[in-house]
A and B are shown apart, each in its own frame.
Chain A
Amino acid sequence: MRILVKGAGVAGLTVAWQLYRHGFDVTIHERAEKVGQGASGFAGGMLAPWCERESAEEPVLTLGRLAADWWEAALPGHVHRRGTLVVASGRDAGELERFATRTTGWEWLDEQAITALEPDLTGRFRKALFFRQEAHLDPGKALSALTAGLEEARMRFLFGPGSHATRYDRIVDCTGAAKIGRLANLRGVRGEMLRLETSDVTLSRPVRLLHPRHPIYIVPRERNRFMVGATMIESDDAGPITARSLMELLNAAYGLHPAFGEARLVDTGAGIRPAYPDNLPRVTEDGETLHVNGLYRHGFLLAPAMAGEVARRLLAEHASPERMAS
């Protein structure tokens, strides 16, 4: 069976990897010049289904809890299993209680325990929630590694616009936000982020700072860098970050640790997350094409489950006699 995967973001590459593991003949076509140019490029890379459950429905947890294992198996050494720390400023302490009632898989930490995990946060928070089972990865590095692995396995990559004459048995469309307006009920949710660089603060794991209006997360990266995200705006505008969002994100980072005030602002970004009305991803069929879309803010978390679903469907077809005969 010859398969064309359209789109080389986290969804497309994950699907390609899964199909390659099952022995399918896969070609990947990406309209841009390289991988990860859509929403995936702005991802936090948090594998945090327990935290996400605070505002997401149950499938995010049931489908997402195996994501860390999937990434670890695909890319050994890329997954950091250090949990997630959730904190709130003294005035918003009630938000922590609220977060705890909406989630599972946490434990309460006191000041000493916070210090043991993140020494640089000593004395800044009286208590915190710790989600021990959660993990994170660097999205850029993960996508590059996945691409390298696929190239090594002699998967074909086609870049740039234009169609290709080759016939494929099936197309798996993973082009995300490009399908807004073409797939029913798919909408864009704008997200803005920024990257800071400072050697004055060290964090070992993603930290979420709760706030009634602007909850944010900070994910530590290599080379003293930190990704700060992310806004959630009901808009499919992909223009640069707004002054207000920049202010809110920086303000929150500063609130987490004043040393972020002296950090360098490396860059900012804004991307469009494709989402269905329930904010859950799905695999849909349209003739010869399977669509994987609606990953919303859960690309790295839920792409493995979607890839598994695509593989199951194609394997079932492959095995069914009528399909073999046709």
Chain B
Amino acid sequence: MLKLYDIAVQSRLLLGTARYPSPSILAEAVRRSKTEIVTVSLRRETSGGKSGGAFFELIRDLGVRVLPNTAGCHSVKEAVLTAKMARDVFRTDWIKLEVIGHHDTLQPDVFGLVEAARILTDEGFQVFPYTTDDLVVAERLLEAGCRVLMPWCAPIGSAMGPVNPTALRSFRAHFPDVPLIVDAGIGRPSHAADVMERGYDAVLLNTAVAGAGDPAAMAEAFALAIAAGRLAHKAVPLEPRDMAVPSTPVIGKAVFS
């Protein structure tokens, strides 16, 4: 079973809560995905310093574990402040840490990320860092105290799926014992199945579900694909070969056909 900071979870799908057509559809997507963890952006929904009030209540009422995030934070200071606010609002030490380095592509600022991770870990937070597939950055994040890593497989919201399978493979191989969650870039259930087959521990999604024509049905489709990918990984899939290999012996076969 997957353990994230000593919390055991059954579902390997983590779901974002932004940009659904309505809170009702979000609730239905959470239900059908059978997810146990949802992420919530503190920054966007706390205009004017007032809490996101009713929306946060709605999230709490979903009855699943909340992983607050620092989406939209562009500096270490901002991310740390947002994490502290999240701790108060949701009474959890978990924080999905995002430090955005580029406004347009939302690419993580990996330097700020490592620094913020160190500060937050020292303050008792359990940090889930949104990072690139860079191995050195990942090592620094582990040194900073992170016990989960969340590499992207493509830029946020791009829906491209794994754009660099080689990097994903070496990332998995380098950190065999760290829970790895693919965060960002997934567009379709087949992408999610793909990274799960490669041995990733879980997948975090938002736009791919929220932006689908029928978000609740898509949430369920992802849950099925992720479960299938996980099962396939445990079953050890065949490696691709360059040439055809017959599945039955050829020698001695009757040649009537």
Contacts and interface: CB of A to CB of B under 8 A. Distances in A.
B54 interface: yes
Given A190-B47, A233-B47, A234-B45, 10 more contacts: A55-B21, A186-B54, A213-B157, A233-B44, A236-B50, A236-B54, A242-B48, A278-B22, A278-B24, A280-B22
B20 to A, nearest CB: 9
Nearest to A56: B21
Interface in A98-138: 98, 101-102
- 6 cross-chain pairs, A with B, having the tightest CB-CB distances, nearest first: A187-B54, A237-B48, A234-B55, A279-B22, A278-B24, A239-B48
Contacts of A279: 21-24
- Which bucket holds chain B's interface residue count? 20 to 34
11 contacts: A57-B21, A180-B54, A187-B54, A234-B45, A234-B55, A235-B48, A236-B54, A237-B47, A277-B22, A278-B22, A278-B24
B116 to A, nearest CB: 21
B89 interface: no
A160 interface: no
Interface in A27-76: 55-57
B52 interface: yes
Interface string B212-227: 0100000000000000
A101 B22 CA distance: 19
A304 interface: no
A83 interface: no
Given A187-B58, A277-B58, A235 B45 contact: yes
Nearest to B54: A187
Interface string A223-234: 000000000011
A187 B53 contact: yes
Interface of A: 55-57, 98, 101-102, 180, 186-188, 190, 212-213, 233-237, 239, 242, 275, 277-280
A277 B23 contact: yes
A52 to B, nearest CB: 10
Contacts of A186: 54
A98 B50 CA distance: 34
Contacts of B45: 233-235
Interface in B28-82: 44-50, 52-55, 58
B27 interface: yes
A102 B22 CA distance: 15
Contacts of B23: 187, 277-279
Nearest to A236: B53
Nearest to B23: A277
B211 A98 contact: yes
B21 A234 contact: no
A102 B213 CA distance: 6
Contacts of A187: 23, 53-55, 58
Contacts of A278: 22-25
A277 B48 contact: no
A234 B18 CA distance: 10
B157 A212 contact: yes
Contacts of A213: 157
A188 B54 contact: yes
A56 B44 CA distance: 21
A125 B214 CA distance: 29
Nearest to A231: B47
Contact of B50 (A57, A237, A275, A280): A237
A186 B53 CA distance: 11
B46 A235 contact: yes
A188 B211 contact: no
Contacts of B55: 187, 234-235
Contacts of B47: 190, 233, 235, 237, 239, 242
A220 to B, nearest CB: 27
A304 to B, nearest CB: 21
Contacts of A239: 47-48
A226 B55 CA distance: 31
Contacts of A236: 50, 53-54
A149 B95 CA distance: 56
A188 B50 CA distance: 12
A242 B43 CA distance: 13
A192 to B, nearest CB: 9
Contacts of B24: 277-279
A67 to B, nearest CB: 20
A235 B21 contact: no
Contacts of B44: 233-234
A180 B48 CA distance: 18
B54 to A, nearest CB: 3
A233 B55 CA distance: 10
Contacts of A57: 21-22
A55 B214 CA distance: 10
Contacts of A98: 211
A237 B50 CA distance: 6
Contacts of B22: 56-57, 275, 277-280
Contacts of A275: 22
A110 to B, nearest CB: 26
Nearest to B159: A94
B82 to A, nearest CB: 14
A235 B53 contact: yes
